[in-house]
Structure 1
Amino acid sequence: MTVQRILILTGDFVEDYEIIVPFQLLLTIGHKVDVVSPGKKAGDFLATAIHDFEGYQTYTEKRGHNFELNATYSDVKASDYDALVIPGGRAPEHLATDESVLELVRAFTSANKPIAAICHGPQLLLAAEILSGRKVAAYPAIKSQVTAAGAQYQDIEIDGAVTDDKLVTAPAWPAHPAWMSHFLKVLGTKIDP
């Protein structure tokens, strides 16, 4: 297997599972994974949030774990990485207001590198204006944002994922197996039993 260098771009109140699960899975497979957040450096912590589906009209939110960053945002260049992962939660909403973040996301797109985004993660891709005409799965609450940006919202099961060329998206953390499976295929990662 070719080891790939993957960047996870996020911020405070990222969804807990949506950062921890892909981070640990990609490391376990053998890829190099850096996690960064604007204004923070390696060794700093992010606050995470746990979103759960408990039978209400929307998900509930609770304080999650502290997640330690292993790289410094100001050192990051898209050219140093093979792919980008954008977890959901509240982080994409505030990251979408940072022009340096949008420029970084656009650099991955311009270089035609794989991007995986889940739940509210596509909000960051929408703000970077790179989703027009693309098939996108996302948390249903942002369907109107996805369609307003000219993307084709994919109304799939909560545990499904969608691949459109090198873009892999999914509705929420129950989709981790499908989302990461699709992403590994896009990366060309083959795991020998």
Structure 2
Amino acid sequence: MSKKVLIVTGDAAEVLEVYYPYYRVLEEGYEAVIAAPVKKVLHTVVHDFVDGWETYTEKPAHLLPAHIAFADVEPADYDGLIIPGGRAPEYIRSDVNLPRILSHFLENGKPVGAICHAAQVFAALKDTSFFEGRTMTAYTACRLDVERLGATYAKDTLHVDGKLVTGHAWPDLPGFMREFLRLMQ
């Protein structure tokens, strides 16, 4: 039976951070399922870095169909979890079903990949003790979110701590997916 990877996201996900993992998971022969607050066609965005800007720019990107709503996700059916960044994490974290999904993967030691702004979704958890004593990275603007979880912020653009793979931004996707898929074996 093929392994299944759940990708939790929503509108304004960074296009590369959702499509690259989605296709790499499929390429590996696993099933990839995109979950969102509601089952609908999502709007992704392109974040890019421009000389002279202190932050990234944002433009509309591709449409992305969500396969399933968070409320309908049975986390035990999945072997791994990927959380793309972009602006989606800042609003999907308020979905009442997300803590149930996140907790299952963290409590059961399943691979979790969180890239860029994805660290923001962990604020949805009432119990953040999983992150105490851990090290993780995220986009620099999310350093405070990582530290509020009780984790140490790694300045490296890619970090693996047990079954938790974290990345800084879309340029880190090759290493991020290599490490995540290694944990899926």
Instruction: Give the structure-1-normalised TM-score.
Output: 0.89
* Structure 2 residue corresponding to 1:57, chosen from 50, 54, 57: 54
Identity across matched positions, percent? 38
1:1-193 matched pairs, under 5 angstroms: 3-38=2-37, 40-41=38-39, 44-55=40-51, 56-128=53-125, 129=128, 130-156=130-156, 160-188=157-185
Aligned length: 181
Unaligned 5+ residue runs, structure 2?
A: none
Letter in 2 for 1:182: E
In the aligned structure 1, how far is the partner of 2:50 from the partner of 2:179? 27
What is the rounded CA distance, in whole Å, between the counterparts of 1:187 and 1:148 in structure 2?
28
Q: What is the DSSP-based 3-state SS (H/G/I as helix, E as strand, rest coil) of the residue aligned with 2:114?
A: strand
Q: Contact 2:71–2:97 (CA<8 Å) still a contact in 1?
A: no
| Structure 1 segments unaligned to the other structure (5+ residues) | 189-193
Partner SS for 2:132: coil
Q: TM-score, normalised by structure 2?
A: 0.93
The question of whether the paired residues in 2 share the 8 Å contact of 1:161 and 1:182 is answered with no
* Separation of aligned partners in 1, 2:108 and 2:145: 25
Give runs of ≥4 in structure 1 deviating > 6 Å. Answer: none
